[in-house]
Structure 1
Amino acid sequence: MNETLTTADGRPVLRIERRLAHSPEKVWRAVTEPEHLSRWYPFRAAELDLRLGGKIRFDDGAGTTLDAVVTELDPPRLFAFSTRAPAEMTRESDDLIRFELTPEGTGCLLVFTHIFDDRYAAASYASGWQVCLDALEAVVDDRPVEPGFPVAAMHDRYVEKFGLNGGVYSDTADGWVVRFERQLTQPAERVWALLAGEGGTAAGAGGAVPPAFTNDRVPAGAVTSAKEPELLEYAWESGGNTAGRVRWELTNGTGHGARLVLTQTGPGELTAERHTALTAWKRRITRLAEELRDLPRA
């Protein structure tokens, strides 16, 4: 099994290889026939017109449908389709899902590819597809498919493997900004409660910052803005004076968890503090991810 994350035409490309002990013809049926596909794919295939340009409709059984169009077809070697998210989910372009089967001895090599837009969702996608491909293997093995969910540890291993745990900085007219974005494995309410501590409520504007929202290298001043469980912003200090702002934002993400965006601003005369911020916040967010892994699955 081999997983990689690359970029093509500015879009992330997740590629997973699996060697299966079955012929391409048998695996082909599992990925193109609705009764088999529905046993392991995240959505039930309610409709599948197996021809170039043919329509596919997936249904999660809870009122959400997903439309797709067949974009490549070469039985029993290649099957690909583009998916369009439901109307309530806005995104710039469609995802592409691709299955390529190559004979290897008495079995075959499956190369699964997912092209999408949200790079920081890659760990959620990779861990989710691993669970699905385990189920696919059970289908072609004629074994019962056991319900499964991606575990937080698997997700965070992909965060590390794909280099999604680092921050970036940019220069602005007023100085600089350090920015981290990370998909977390728990919803915003649980993340907030963990950060805010006992009682789960952070101080309002002018109050003290709960320690878990800070790190040991960036001295915290007073809270400047707070909205539970979405936002906490506070001043950070250098030499006893306000130097910039630290801002925690939690929004809906992928994989049933919150998306964290953390930024720290600073003035041009303190450019050396950028490296301090990058190192300290990476360590703090990594520790937060570890703490979230210890919580029960939401």
Structure 2
Amino acid sequence: MNTDPPFGPMSGPMSGPTSDATLSTSADGRTSLRMERGLAHPPEKVWAALTDPVALARWFPSEVTLDLVPGGAMGFHFPGDPEPGLAGTVTDAEEPRLFAFTWGADHLSWTITPDGEGSSLTLVHTFGDRPGAASFASGWHLCMTALDRLLGGGRADGGHDRSGELHESYLKRFRLDGGTVERAEGGSRVRFERQLVRPAETVWAVLSAGIEPVAGLPVPEGFTAEKVPAGPVTEVRAPNSLTYTWQPRGTVTWELGKGTGHGARLVLVQTGSEDFDTDAALAAWRTRIDRLAEELVRT
């Protein structure tokens, strides 16, 4: 079961990434996303919207049960999900200033600070899946926008679905679109890991463009990148993985696995010999994956 917050496409008003959304990494390798939103409502009203299960259900991504004391149990159930949901524990409950809790392996901290006649709401979400940060940021962006609208007496579901664009904006902001070069047996490899905004079946259909890959035959063009000479397909498990050879020697592998709930997680690996031009490969695949991501947003 995927224990990440399920931030898939959500309807709601948006503009772009908030200017104060930041990522940081701790010594143990976990990532913290910090987001701040100004609200034209006093801390007591915001506190009620954060801690009352009925109010939470109107803007939070899951239904919540909780015992509002430090150490109190919490439960998260996602509407329409047959799974039993996630468990959590209240870690802080200081009315009307601080509400924090675990969510599976993640930790969420909500701090409310008076700001004139309103409040400043700061969320710090700590998690282990750094490539999922853009999904979390875009999801919380829409949740906090919905909270603001509800506090003002509006509807949380106003606007139209542009969550894919918002996701990609945060991904670029956090520089999650780059690849890495790693040592491999007999040479080097280039690796990209990127959260996408559509499920594996949709991504596969875009890549294959109606030409299903077959072992031993040329790879469909969608799975290739400019200046990476493509050989025949060696292994295919639609819609989740494909491997083919490239010249002079090496392989390219596409894998589409489970991500954050926003869509598939792409892992692309190109292996090569000791003299493999990894800089050229990084540039070629970044361009190709960016183009794929743009197409998926429009799909």
- TM-score (norm. length: structure 2): 0.89
Q: Secondary structure at the match of 1:166?
A: coil
Superposition pairs of residues 62-141 of structure 1, within 5 angstroms:
62=80, 63-64=82-83, 65-84=85-104, 94-141=105-152
- SS in structure 2 opposite 1:39? coil
Q: Which residue of the partner structure matches residue 55 of structure 2? A: 36
1:159 to 151, 171, 187: 171
1:177 Cα offset (Å): 0.9
**1:262 corresponds to 2:268:** yes
Query: Quick one: distance in 1 between partners of 2:149 and 2:242?
Result: 45
Shift of 1:110: 0.6
Equivalent in 236, 251, 255 of residue 246 of structure 2: 236
* Counterpart selection for 2:292 from 285, 288, 298: 288
**Deviation at residue 72 of structure 1 after TM alignment:** 1.3
Distance 2:86 2:194 in 1: 26
Higher relative contact order (CA 8 A, sep 6+): 2
* Distance in 1 between residues matched to 2:96 and 2:128, nearest whole Å: 28
Pairs within 5 Å for 1:3-18: 3-8=21-26, 9-18=28-37
> CA–CA distance in 2 between the matches of 1:61 and 1:195?
31
Quick check: 2:38–2:120 contact (8 Å CA) kept in 1? yes
Distance 1:210 1:139 in 2: 48
1:75 deviates by 1.1
In the alignment, structure 1 residue 276 sits paired with structure 2 residue 280:
yes
Query: What letter is aligned with 2:63?
Result: R
Q: C-alpha separation between the residues in 1 aligned to 2:235 and 2:280?
A: 24
- Please tell me whether residue 208 in structure 1 is matched to residue 218 in structure 2: yes
1:196 paired residue among 189, 196, 208? 208
CA–CA distance in structure 2, aligned partners of residues 40 and 258 of structure 1: 24
Structure 1: 5+ residue stretches without partners: 85-93
Quickly say closer, same or farther: Cα 1:294–1:27, change in 2 above 3 A.
same
Deviation at 1:60, TM superposition (A): 2.0
User: What does residue 13 of structure 2 align with?
Assistant: none
Structure with the higher fraction of residues in strand conformation: 1
Secondary structure at the residue paired with 2:22? Answer: strand
What is the Cα deviation at residue 149 of structure 1? 5.4
- Aligned counterparts of 1:152 and 1:257: Cα–Cα separation in 2: 10
Aligned equivalent of 1:59: 77
Alignment partners' CA distance in 1, 2:226 and 2:162:
32
Output one character per residue of 1:217-253: Cα deviation in whole Å (capped at 9) or x when no partner.
1101111111111111111103xxxx10111111121
CA distance in 1, matches of 2:181, 2:289: 16
2:193 paired residue number: 181
Q: Distance in 2 between matches of 1:98 and 1:31?
A: 11
Work out the number of aligned pairs and report it.
277
Q: How far off is 1:173 after superposition?
A: 3.3
Q: Does structure 2 retain, via aligned residues, the 8 Å contact 1:131–1:150?
A: no
Match of 2:21, SS? Answer: strand
Find the aligned partners of 1:225 and 1:108 in 2 and give their Cα distance.
56
Matched, 1:224 2:234: yes
State which structure, 1 or 2, has the greater radius of gyration over its C-alpha atoms: 1
User: Normalization by structure 1: what TM-score?
Assistant: 0.89
TM-aligned CA deviation for residue 104 of structure 1: 1.1
Secondary structure of the residue that 2:250 maps to in structure 1? strand
Shift of 1:15: 0.8
Task: Indicate if the aligned counterparts of 2:184 and 2:271 stay in contact, CA closer than 8 A.
Answer: no
Helix, strand or coil for the counterpart of 2:57?
Answer: helix
Q: Give, in angstroms, the shift of residue 7 of structure 1.
A: 1.0
Instruction: Measure the CA separation in 2 of the matches of 1:61 and 1:284.
Output: 36
Name the CA distance, whole Å, in 2 between partners of 1:13 and 1:79. 17
Once residues 221 and 184 of structure 2 are traced to their aligned partners in structure 1, the CA distance between those partners, rounded to angstroms, is 28
Shift of 1:150: 5.8
- Checking the alignment, whether the CA contact within 8 Å between 1:170 and 1:178 is kept in structure 2 is yes
Q: Deviations over 1:165-195 (max 9, x none)?
A: 0000111231001000111111111111111
Quick one: percent identity of the two aligned structures? 46
Alpha-carbon displacement from aligned partner over 1:127-179 (angstroms, at most 9, x marks no partner): 11111111111222122222675621111111111111000011123100100
RMSD: 1.4
Question: Aligned partners of 1:248, 1:143: CA distance in 2, in Å?
Answer: 44
Q: Give the letter aligned to residue 183 of structure 2.
A: D
Give the whole-Å Cα distance in 2 for the aligned partners of 1:68 and 1:150: 30
Secondary structure at the counterpart of residue 40 of structure 1: coil
